[in-house]
Structure 1
Amino acid sequence: MKPSTPLLIDVGSTYFKLGSASETRQWPRDFSRPILEDLMTKCGDEIAAYPPGAIESHVSFEEIRKVHLPRHECSVKGHDNAAITYTFSSVGDPKGIVIDHRALYDGAAIVSTYLEIRPDDVISGLLSFNLDYGLNQLFTTLYNTATLAIHKFVLPADFFTHLIDDGVTVLPLMPIHLSQIFDVDPHRIPQPQHFRRLRAVTSSGGNLTAQMIENVSTHFPDARLYSMHGLSEAFRSAYLDPAQIYIRPDSIGKAVPDVELYILNEQGEACKPREVGELIHRGPASTRATGTPPRPPPGASRASASWRRCSAPKGASPTRSSSPAGTTSTPTRKATSTSSGARTT
């Protein structure tokens, strides 16, 4: 039998209150859960006993549902410019990289696929958000509703404490970091059992040495090491399967999901094995443009960058991807074609 008296719901900043004709009950809120989920878990049986018209709330029940199941309208288009990051690239000149919203999304989705990122993952936020590699960690975290544990590297001891106390499961690094964190007395590095939660270590921004690979294997034995290669004109282009890291450590591996990679010579033809050519990225996560800021004249306060759109190398036929962003071929760096993949030069 349905109660005839109304049920009063009070959603406070730290509690839920349910008041009926006979009693008032209170529950503390769990801030790790959405409001509606927390309310229904604790008070669902009492609320279900009342018809909708008999429920009164200091906060509209429909408003609570909107918070739990939001529907947002957004006028931003995928091809709209979202950010500019800067890189010194392989030639040492500073370049600005224009990134659209779709590239940010695609980069997060692609990396999440081959790293198998989960909502319960804790990603180390060691990298600067000024870099595309660091920015990708932020959007990968949001894409998977995972956790990003921000840390500024100062000393190896603090870094290892960060891994243990924050329960890091995914550790994105650059080769320079791998040199710094293990450049201490081995006896000062915590035992491997303290890093059992760490399941993946990723590296980009340079080549891994045999010593770096050995250090990761020794101190993080439960983690898989992903050698990844991103480019100035693309978030991520290739990764080496962790099972191959000891077999061909100099290889960039294979193309990431939804991306095609080619090594073309100056005639726009596919390179033969051991022939040096240009690495071409076709598919999502390509940036919109790159530009080199000109040196300001004496006394000038600001100088605008001269942007150029990424285009295919001379002799190569333009290609289009099926990506909604309408990405095009992007010239990258020199590479040597091999029978099992590509090696950067």
Structure 2
Amino acid sequence: MNISVQLHNIAGRLGGKPAYYFMDQASTYAELDAAVTRFASGLEQLGIKKGDHIAVLLGNSPHFIISLYGALRLGATVIPINPVYTEDEISFILLNGDVKAVVCLDLMMPLAEKMQKHLPEVQQFIICESGQGGGSNAGGMTDKMKAFADVVSIGSPNYEGPDLGEDDTAIILYTSGTTGKPKGAMLTHRNLFSNAQDVADYLKINEDDRVVTALPMFHVFCLTVVLNAPLMNGGTLLIVPRFSPKEIFRLAKKYEPTVFAGVPTMYNFLYQYPEGDAEDMKSLRLCISGGASLPVALLENFEKKFNVAVSEGYGLSEASPVTCFNPLDRPRKAGSIGRSIVNVENKVVSELGEEVTPGEVGELIVRGPNVMKGYYKMPEETAAAIREGWLYTGDLARMDEEGYFYIVDRKKELILVGGYNVYPREVEEVLYSHPDVVEVAVLGVPDPNFGEAVRSFVVSKNPALTEEDLISYCREHLAKYKVPNSIEFLAELPKNTTGKILRRALRKQVLQQS
């Protein structure tokens, strides 16, 4: 079984039900499945075959879903790429990923033309209409370019595709590459199907759910939790091309969604939105947070304002991604990523790989059918990440007596002040609890006396708030060595397209100032 076959099965049972709404237009499961089938067949007629690699450079749209499920039905391997990446970043992934075909918007045609010269291995560019100029009828289409609509139109409605093995590579997700070049995590059909099904079961996602799809589809959090899990169970997606609080509240009023998933910055924007009203969110039965740790103060403020529970979970690309979620059948624990989902094991280990006692901090490791087969063309990195069947996440965590896990921080983000461990998240939690603080990021900077010092970057809604005000506030709640020795106020914090705060950009800023 794989997610594309499951989509076909759902279409056979719920063909007339809306699979998604996009730009206020509905498309049924039967229509979606027919487009997926034709696109898979059309790809084959262009010379794409089972095992070939196809890059998808698209934002949130029906084009993305049809490309993903169509390529998987053909047996091709999909490589989702953030379309706002630079030319160098995209070129690296296309070359390293041995990509044979690219699906992209017409707005990227100039880039596609340049890539034809530098990347001869890419045999086909499939161009999607953006509605913003360009497109399949515009000039500039070369022999290597085909319009998305034309690929669908030439496909057979009766195409069935080849037999696929559960260990065949379905997707290669290139990690963000905070150190060195990004690595391609190879996820199999079994990885994707098992995690989507387990997440859907754990969160009780069903055909009555309407799920706000505002996270980027090319990101694994959205891919599994907000796209695959609902479609596998007959839910309806409310596709948001680009996140904005105004659009979320508009959708909430019109379509009465039952599930919202986002990263902490999205929750912060929704909470701070002046026109946001609890009445607009009354249809939500569940909010899901992931991608980064959700500050406890923000979680509690959001829940109080909108009267909806936020269930925090945890995952990473190499695990398809979900390993933990707060259970829905009991009160969630603030600050916790929850317990292991069904079929997945998590444990906390020491530097020697030995399980530590509850409450003790160590590295979180994961085992289950969701764990990747390895990094593409990187056997040494694969061997370092997966040992005796366990995936080493690089995250520091602790587990309580009831089996709830808490992320302490990234192993590489640990700050050593005079030999004492300082976890950035602990300092961030304190700063977030200040009523005038909107966003925070904490990192370690070189210090001649203590090795490292704590520096904080803060976005405040009160222009009168001073550095000394916040340092004094931290002294009331933190041990002396954990208190920031400097606080810099910014208009906004740098973020990636998923809304995750970019610590490396702040670190680069610090280096430039020194």
Q: TM-score range by the shorter chain?
A: 0.5 to 0.7
List runs of 5+ in structure 1 lacking aligned partners. Answer: 1-30, 36-69, 292-304, 319-327
SS of residue in 1 equivalent to 2:272: coil
Taking structure 1 as the reference length, the TM-score comes to: 0.65
CA gap of 1:153–1:32, structure 2 versus 1, over 3 A, is closer
CA gap of 1:153–1:92, structure 2 versus 1, over 3 A, is farther
Is residue 369 of structure 2 the alignment partner of residue 284 of structure 1?
yes
CA distance in 2: counterparts of 1:90 and 1:249, whole angstroms: 28
Q: Which residue of 2 aligns with 1:67?
A: none
Worse-superposed segment, 140-149 or 282-291: 282-291
Q: Identity of paired residues, percent?
A: 26
* Larger radius of gyration between Structure 1 and Structure 2: 1
Q: Which residue of 1 aligns with 2:353?
A: 268
Shift of 1:110: 0.7
Asked whether the 8 Å contact 1:312–1:329 carries over to 2, the reply is no
CA gap of 1:34–1:75, structure 2 versus 1, over 3 A, is closer
Asked whether the 8 Å contact 1:277–1:335 carries over to 2, the reply is yes
Q: Which has the higher helix share?
A: 2
Q: Which residue of 2 aligns with 1:77?
A: 165
1:129-140 superposed matches below 5 A: 129-136=217-224, 137-140=226-229
1:193-204 superposed matches below 5 A: 193-204=279-290
Is residue 157 of structure 2 the alignment partner of residue 96 of structure 1?
no
Shift of 1:233: 1.7
CA distance in 2: counterparts of 1:173 and 1:207, whole angstroms: 12
Is residue 243 of structure 2 the alignment partner of residue 172 of structure 1?
no
Q: Which residue of 2 aligns with 1:209?
A: 295
Q: Which residue of 2 aligns with 1:259?
A: 344
Asked whether the 8 Å contact 1:121–1:147 carries over to 2, the reply is yes
Q: CA RMSD in A?
A: 2.9
1:289-328 superposed matches below 5 A: 289-290=374-375, 306=378, 308=380, 310-311=382-383, 318=388, 328=389
SS of residue in 2 equivalent to 1:286: coil
CA distance in 1: counterparts of 2:366 and 2:360, whole angstroms: 18
CA gap of 1:32–1:101, structure 2 versus 1, over 3 A, is closer
Q: Which residue of 2 aligns with 1:50?
A: none
CA distance in 1: counterparts of 2:251 and 2:180, whole angstroms: 32
Q: Which residue of 2 aligns with 1:331?
A: 392
CA gap of 1:135–1:92, structure 2 versus 1, over 3 A, is farther
Q: Deviations over 1:55-97 (max 9, x none)?
A: xxxxxxxxxxxxxxx9957411111111122332776963332
Shift of 1:160: 0.5
Out of 406, 413, 417, the position equivalent to 1:343 is: 406
Out of 127, 145, 160, the position equivalent to 2:249 is: 160
Higher RCO (CA-CA < 8 Å; seq separation 6+)? 1
CA distance in 1: counterparts of 2:229 and 2:306, whole angstroms: 22
CA distance in 2: counterparts of 1:233 and 1:82, whole angstroms: 13
SS of residue in 2 equivalent to 1:182: helix
Structure 1 letter corresponding to 2:250: T
CA distance in 1: counterparts of 2:179 and 2:396, whole angstroms: 12
Structure 2 letter corresponding to 1:249: A
Taking structure 2 as the reference length, the TM-score comes to: 0.45
Asked whether the 8 Å contact 2:252–2:281 carries over to 1, the reply is yes
CA distance in 2: counterparts of 1:277 and 1:218, whole angstroms: 33
Shift of 1:144: 0.4
Q: Which residue of 1 aligns with 2:306?
A: 220
Asked whether the 8 Å contact 1:138–1:148 carries over to 2, the reply is yes
CA distance in 1: counterparts of 2:178 and 2:366, whole angstroms: 17
Asked whether the 8 Å contact 1:268–1:313 carries over to 2, the reply is no
Shift of 1:244: 4.0
CA gap of 1:182–1:307, structure 2 versus 1, over 3 A, is farther
Out of 207, 228, 235, the position equivalent to 1:146 is: 235
List runs of 5+ in structure 2 lacking aligned partners. Answer: 1-26, 32-157, 410-514
Shift of 1:225: 1.6
CA gap of 1:336–1:311, structure 2 versus 1, over 3 A, is farther
CA distance in 1: counterparts of 2:291 and 2:339, whole angstroms: 17
Is residue 195 of structure 2 the alignment partner of residue 107 of structure 1?
yes
